[in-house]
Each structure stands twice: as C-alpha cells, then as structure tokens.
Amino acid sequence: MERREMNLPTGPDTLCFDKDEFMKEDFDVDHFVSDCRKRVQLEELRDDLEQYYKLLKTAMVELINKDYADFVNLSTNLVGMDRALNQLSVPLGQFREEVLVSSPNHVTSKA
C-alpha cells in the first residue's frame, strides 16, 4: 500500500512532544508515553495531547469544508452527464461501423 505524505498542523512550541512522532511507520503509543514521561508529568502530557487534538480537529474540519466545496462543484457539473453520454452513443456507434466498413481488413459477418 502506498503511503501518502501528510502534513500535520504545526502545534505550539510549548508541546512536550514532537507531532511528527505520530506519523512514523513504527509509532508505538507505549514508547511515546514512556518517552514523554521522562520529561513531563502525565497531567502535562494529557493537557498537551488535548490541546493538539483540538488543533487537529479544527484543521480536519477546515480541510473537509475546503474539499467539500470542490466535491459539490464536481457533482453539480456531472448532473445530466449520463444523458449527454447516451446521446453520443448512437453517433459513435455509426462512426464505428463506418470505420470498420472502410477498414481494408474488414470481414463481413452475417449474424
């Protein structure tokens, strides 16, 4: 499976952890907590995680809202597309037959 590069929002410099730790292939929550506990109390880690969670949640909502407008525009542009494609099917079929008939290797089959 291909891994896409994601940019996490930048948190305040006062966080007791590096946000990029979450994106590591081998991220381990137990190791993460153990490492943070060497520097800060659990309460501070909890507060920083809550603060970063709120930041992530806000960034996610903004991203959804930004992409939602593109999605709505795309679906609006596709309205009636099936009808237009159906209208093209007959002329394209006729064109295909003309090409096949004019082809030097055309073999007439009786079906």
* 23-35: burial string, b at 16+ Cβ within 10 Å, e else: eeeeeeeeebeee
pTM greater than 0.75: no
Of the two residues 94 and 6, the one the predictor is more confident about is 94
Q: Among 75, 22, 90, 97, which Cα is nearest to 52's?
A: 22
**CA 4 centroid distance within chain:** 9
Per-residue pLDDT tens over the stretch 41-70: 999 999 999 999 999 999 988 888 887 777
- Domain spans, the chain: 19-101
Report the chain's mean pLDDT, rounded to a whole number.
84
Structure tokens belonging to residue 44: 């501070």
In the structure, what pLDDT confidence band is assigned to residue 36 with cuts at 50, 70 and 90? very high
Per-residue pLDDT tens over the stretch 6-18: 678 888 889 999 9
